[in-house]
Structure 1
Amino acid sequence: MSNEPRLPLGISRMLKYSFQLYKQHFEKLFLLSLFYFGPIYLVMYLLMPAAMEQSSTSLNNLYHIFAGGAIDPTWQRETLDTGAFVSIVRMVLFSLFSILYVVLLGPVFAAANVFLVQAVFNREAPMSIKEAIKRAFQRFGALLGSSLLFGLIIFGIGIVTMILIGILFAIGAGGIYASGGGSVGGTVVGVVISFILIYIGVLLLWSYFVIRWMYYLPVTALREEPLGLGRSWALTRSSFWRLFGVMFVMNLIVGIFSVVVEPLFNAIIGSEGLATMLGQIVLILLRIVLFPLPVVLYAVSFFDLKVREEG
């Protein structure tokens, strides 16, 4: 790693560099991830022990909470049926704790990873986990403020894009219906294809703003700007497609684990008592192991942007 030239990295080299860094500094990255997710799983076990005793459906719900997805209605219905008011209270408490925890400590965890990667990227003395976390907490207020602002902006853009999807789809479907002339099947296919194309287009538009502003966090952590949004926009002005491609590939790699490996693993261990619990513990550890990968790539891509700009 120390011999790696600090040159602008393409998609394949950036991925390779990130995996090398992840491998060589696995212990620190794993411990950081464990420190971050450990309290979440502990509180989940204390407030909703039944959820930890179920199949991976409950764990998938926890994963989707932090991935921005929705809770499986089947699991939600089963939970409500078993405990009525107490279950509702516990679910609400856990949800509130999770939201506050992620909002308050998520930026700190990401910044700590940025500091670890910075030390490697600049060929400095290895940084300890304690030092990385300490430096991140020194920027707690700025990280929290900039993260809240970024979240509000992206949330607002998300709402606008959803409205845009609805409007464009209504116009497209109306045009297909009004044109007539074709079979019912052809009309349905045309509507479906138009919806998919509109959805992909609007999703790319939303992704554009996310990628252009998402480097606010390392900028803020490194004290380059108070909020970091303007600096992030400048750094990414000619790198959107490269960043979109590398992030897409990394998320595809990590996503394969949830889509393929987890169901296969659950099928192997079965659904009986101790085997299920041990299997869930293994799945939790695997998630904790995988989580630093996209965070490391995020930090590496940021410093690559700085190399491209500063030379």
Structure 2
Amino acid sequence: MENKFSTPKGFGEILDHTFQLTKNRFKDFFIILLIFMGPVYLVQAILQLSSGTSFFREVGSDGEWFDQILTSFEESGTFDSSSLGADIGLIIIGILSAILAPVAEAAILFTINHVRRNEDYSVGSVIKEAFSRFWPIIGSSILFGLISLGIIIVPIVIIAFTGVVVAAAVHPVGGILLGIVLFLVFAILVGLLLTRWSFYFGSVVLDKVSPGLGRSWRLTRKRTWVLLGLYIVFYLIISCISFGVQMTFGMVLGNSVLLTLITNLITLVTTMIFSVGYGVMYLDAKTRHDADDLKEMLEEFKTV
């Protein structure tokens, strides 16, 4: 087993290991994501071209150059909404992405696990392993998505109802302030709950436990705040990279097909960073959990 995986890691060590692993195995991770998502992005580009979007540079029709660039995002959407074929294509792309992306992330998880065990692997072999868990991945992901949707919608309804009642019965400002407080409280609670269940994916893929929610709950015990902080850091890193690229190239290319291709290319990189980070976090939690189980077994053995 690789030494970096054999011992529990702190907050900074997880980030450091994530970026080192991403750098060292960049080619393998990128090829995996490209195999799965490349065809989807290609179809998206073809649909954009067929809807009349310029390949190299899309600008608006009026105003100065800067204004034309800005208006291009309003005048030229990703697809022409008046075209039924484009709308159907957009739906198909969304469905394919939702199906293929988790399998690609599973292949990355298998790759990281092979690295952890110092085992030989190939891109083809980890993709085959990922497809062997296809239905458990899809089923568990749908279940997790429905649960996530529920625990997000319910607080929104509660916040809206409470805010309206207080605003009508007491004072509008009081309703607004109460709504803000409730929003912050529920946001933290939802974040903690989703973090506790977030390792369902790793459990389904590597440990073959479906739907994996119970195991995830055990793995994240006593580490929820740290893991939530890591998720936030990864989100900020990915958002900054994506925003920077879109702003930089968008100023030159407008809402063109080329901008979409560049953005999708960067999405592959940011997805890679998050997937590797998730894998490192999951295996770290697994190491901690297995160590705790071993300690409990030793303590029970001593008492016998």
| Aligned position for 1:12 | 12
| Aligned position for 1:307 | 287
> Which whole-Å CA distance do the structure 1 matches of 2:149 and 2:53 have between them?
29
> Which whole-Å CA distance do the structure 2 matches of 1:240 and 1:225 have between them?
21
Alignment of 1:282 with 2:278, yes or no, is no
> Which whole-Å CA distance do the structure 1 matches of 2:86 and 2:46 have between them?
9
Q: What is the DSSP-based 3-state SS (H/G/I as helix, E as strand, rest coil) of the residue aligned with 1:285? A: helix
| Aligned position for 1:209 | 193
Relative to structure 1, is the Cα distance of residues 139 and 277 closer, same or farther in structure 2, using a 3 angstrom cutoff? closer
Relative to structure 1, is the Cα distance of residues 51 and 152 closer, same or farther in structure 2, using a 3 angstrom cutoff? farther
Deviations 1:160-190 (A, max 9, x none): 1221221343355457617xxxxxxxx4xx6
> Which whole-Å CA distance do the structure 2 matches of 1:261 and 1:144 have between them?
31
Alignment of 1:47 with 2:47, yes or no, is yes
> Which whole-Å CA distance do the structure 1 matches of 2:56 and 2:191 have between them?
35
CA contact (8 A) 1:157 1:206 kept: yes
Alignment of 1:258 with 2:254, yes or no, is no
> Which whole-Å CA distance do the structure 2 matches of 1:103 and 1:259 have between them?
22
Q: Which shows bigger deviation, 21-30 or 288-297? A: 288-297
Q: Which shows bigger deviation, 257-266 or 156-165? A: 257-266
Q: Which shows bigger deviation, 98-107 or 20-29? A: 98-107
Alignment of 1:119 with 2:114, yes or no, is yes
Percent identical among aligned pairs is 29
1:294 to 265, 271, 274: 274
> Which whole-Å CA distance do the structure 2 matches of 1:31 and 1:310 have between them?
32
Q: CA deviation at 1:198?
A: 2.4
**Count of residues in correspondence between the two structures:** 278
Q: What is the DSSP-based 3-state SS (H/G/I as helix, E as strand, rest coil) of the residue aligned with 2:6? A: coil
Q: CA deviation at 1:244?
A: 0.5
CA contact (8 A) 1:119 1:125 kept: yes
Deviations 1:4-61 (A, max 9, x none): 362211111101100000000000111122123212211212223234648799xxxx
Alignment of 1:137 with 2:137, yes or no, is no
| Aligned position for 1:154 | 148
| Aligned position for 1:218 | 202
Alignment of 1:231 with 2:226, yes or no, is no
In structure 1, the gaps of 5 or more residues are: 58-73, 179-186
| Aligned position for 1:90 | 86
Deviations 1:127-173 (A, max 9, x none): 21111110011111211111111111111222112212213433554
AA in 1 matched with 2:85:
V
AA in 2 matched with 1:36:
F
Relative to structure 1, is the Cα distance of residues 100 and 284 closer, same or farther in structure 2, using a 3 angstrom cutoff? closer
> Which whole-Å CA distance do the structure 2 matches of 1:84 and 1:13 have between them?
47
| Aligned position for 1:165 | 159
Q: What is the DSSP-based 3-state SS (H/G/I as helix, E as strand, rest coil) of the residue aligned with 2:4? A: coil
Cα RMSD, aligned residues only? 3.1
> Which whole-Å CA distance do the structure 2 matches of 1:266 and 1:23 have between them?
27
Q: Which shows bigger deviation, 244-253 or 194-203? A: 194-203
> Which whole-Å CA distance do the structure 1 matches of 2:210 and 2:54 have between them?
41
CA contact (8 A) 2:192 2:224 kept: yes
1:244 to 202, 225, 228: 228
CA contact (8 A) 1:164 1:202 kept: no
> Which whole-Å CA distance do the structure 2 matches of 1:278 and 1:44 have between them?
11
Q: CA deviation at 1:293?
A: 0.3
